[in-house]
Amino acid sequence: MAVGTFRTESTGAHALPAHLAGRSLPSAPPLFRFPSLTTTVPREFVHRAAVAEVMLTDWRRGKDGQSFGVTAQWPRGHSFFHSVGDHHDPLLVAETIRQAGTLLAHAEFDVPLGHAFVMWDLDFTVLPDRLRTEATPATLDIEAACEPQWRNGKLTGIQMELRLLRDGEPAASGSGSFACTSAAVYRRLRGERGLSGASRRLPLTAPVAPQYVGRLSSRDVVLTPIGEETRWQLRVDTRHPVLFDHPVDHVPGMVLVEAARQATASVLGRREFLPLGMTSRFHRYAELDAPCLIEAERLAPSPAGYEQVLVTGHQDGATVFSTTVVAAPDAR
């Protein structure tokens, strides 16, 4: 399982600048006076500390109360989600799905900020021709269908199916499911391995050479060599500004998905490859204080003839996650 928690702090009322004190100001909020302006959704709704990492820009409720329209924008360049050739990084789809789930849970299903989200699965497929980078950022319209689960009038989980459209044409699709629980219940579940135990995390280990796992910088590498071609130790750098955007008591699910991508690049011998799809299942928490072994196995080609790799993570003798990666043909 992959868990997301986010703590919020109130900044209080904003004081007017000295040069505006005592002046009469427009009664309408600025955004309503300029309705064509675009902004991001509140960062707290997508469990991000950095506004720059918020991909979503708006949302609206459908007539049935369980379908929603969400809009997003992907930058032409990103510090971590680098372009793959002339394509946007497909893992932006996974991050967009994750953010859409937390947004709708908070904004539409009344889940309080500070609740913990437990991700159980996250899948996506992409249409490469619709992911090409262009002269402007990619604007996306997302159709999200939700199946909420309730207990005593409170949301306990959601299953989502999503379609991502670019210029009105399908670009990707995906799904995800998660459970959510109050901060108090989460603290009881986690016990000593909660945030207070995060200080027991393992020392940072050495990275695989970035060019062998499809990365440009060693800082972005999440695998450590252990002397075997298809096995590595998970490298956990809690100082990473994107993968660890805010303090957590476990390894985030997106780190595990990235480990699957990097392991696939290594076993395929492809320094740069385009994932056409990833199917991930999260079985338990990936802890910060114990080594996590990552293993990759080449599978038979997909029905369309694409290469497939199964990546699994094990910690303390138990399976943490499993991801099947489908790779686009080598363009060389």
Q: What are phi and psi of 200, to 5 degrees?
A: -90, 15
* Residue bearing the bigger pLDDT, 10 or 104: 104
In Å, how far are 167, 275, 278, 323 from 258, measured between CA atoms?
28, 11, 11, 10
- In-domain check, residue 47: yes
Asked if pLDDT for residue 21 goes beyond 60, the answer is no
* Residue 194, pLDDT score: 78
pLDDT mean over 243-266: 96
**Which residue is associated with the tokens 């159709």?**
143
- What are the tens digits of pLDDT across the range 32-90? 567 678 899 999 999 999 999 999 999 999 989 899 999 999 999 999 999 999 999 99
Indicate if 261 and 161 belong to the same structural domain.
no
Asked if pLDDT for residue 5 goes beyond 60, the answer is no
Indicate if 175 and 205 belong to the same structural domain.
no
Q: Are 55 and 71 in contact (CB under 8 A)?
A: no
- In-domain check, residue 169: yes
Can you read off the two tokens belonging to residue 311? 């990546």
- In-domain check, residue 24: no
Looking at 129, 147, 181, the residue that finishes a domain is 181
**DSSP for 40-86?**
PPPGGGGT-S-GGG--EEEEEE-TTSSEEEEEEEE-SS-SSS--BTT
Asked if pLDDT for residue 10 goes beyond 70, the answer is no
Query: What is the Cα 35 distance to its own chain's centre?
Result: 29
- What are the tens digits of pLDDT across the range 96-114? 999 999 999 999 999 999 9
- Chain mean pLDDT for the chain: 90
* Residue 120, pLDDT score: 96
Indicate if 53 and 145 belong to the same structural domain.
yes
CATH code: domain of residue 143: 3.10.129.10
Indicate if 105 and 214 belong to the same structural domain.
no
Looking at 118, 152, 181, the residue that finishes a domain is 181
Q: Lowest mean pLDDT: which of 24-38, 57-71, 141-155, 251-265?
A: 24-38
- In-domain check, residue 294: yes
- In-domain check, residue 189: no
- Round the CA-based radius of gyration of the chain to a whole number and report it: 21
Indicate if 128 and 160 belong to the same structural domain.
yes
Asked if pLDDT for residue 19 goes beyond 80, the answer is no
Asked if pLDDT for residue 259 goes beyond 60, the answer is yes
* Residue 3, pLDDT score: 57
The total number of residues shown for the chain amounts to: 332
Q: Can you tell me whether residue 31 is helix, strand or coil?
A: helix
pLDDT mean over 186-190: 90
Q: What's this model's pTM, rounded to 2 decimal places?
A: 0.89
Asked if pLDDT for residue 12 goes beyond 50, the answer is no
Q: Return the percentage of the chain with pLDDT > 90, whole number.
A: 79
* Residue 18, pLDDT score: 47
Residue 255: name the closest of 119, 142, 164 by CA.
Answer: 119
* Residue 115, pLDDT score: 95
pLDDT mean over 27-31: 52
- In-domain check, residue 255: yes
Indicate if 273 and 329 belong to the same structural domain.
yes
Question: In which domain, by residue range, is 217 found?
Answer: 200-332
Number of domains in the chain: 2
Asked if pLDDT for residue 199 goes beyond 80, the answer is no
* Residue 30, pLDDT score: 54
Indicate if 174 and 250 belong to the same structural domain.
no
Q: Can you tell me whether residue 175 is helix, strand or coil?
A: strand
Asked if pLDDT for residue 16 goes beyond 60, the answer is no
* Residue 6, pLDDT score: 54
pLDDT mean over 261-278: 95
Residue 276: name the closest of 326, 323, 330, 310 by CA.
Answer: 326
* Residue 23, pLDDT score: 47
Amino acid type, 71: T
* Residue 77, pLDDT score: 94
- In-domain check, residue 22: no
Looking at 181, 208, 235, the residue that finishes a domain is 181
Indicate if 264 and 212 belong to the same structural domain.
yes
Helix ranges restricted to H, the chain? 30-33, 91-109, 183-190, 253-268
- In-domain check, residue 321: yes
Residue 243: name the closest of 266, 222, 213 by CA.
Answer: 222
Indicate if 143 and 259 belong to the same structural domain.
no
Quote the CA–CA distance of 81 and 72 in Å, as a whole number.
15
- What are the tens digits of pLDDT across the range 217-241? 999 999 999 999 999 999 999 999 9
- What are the tens digits of pLDDT across the range 135-144? 999 999 999 9
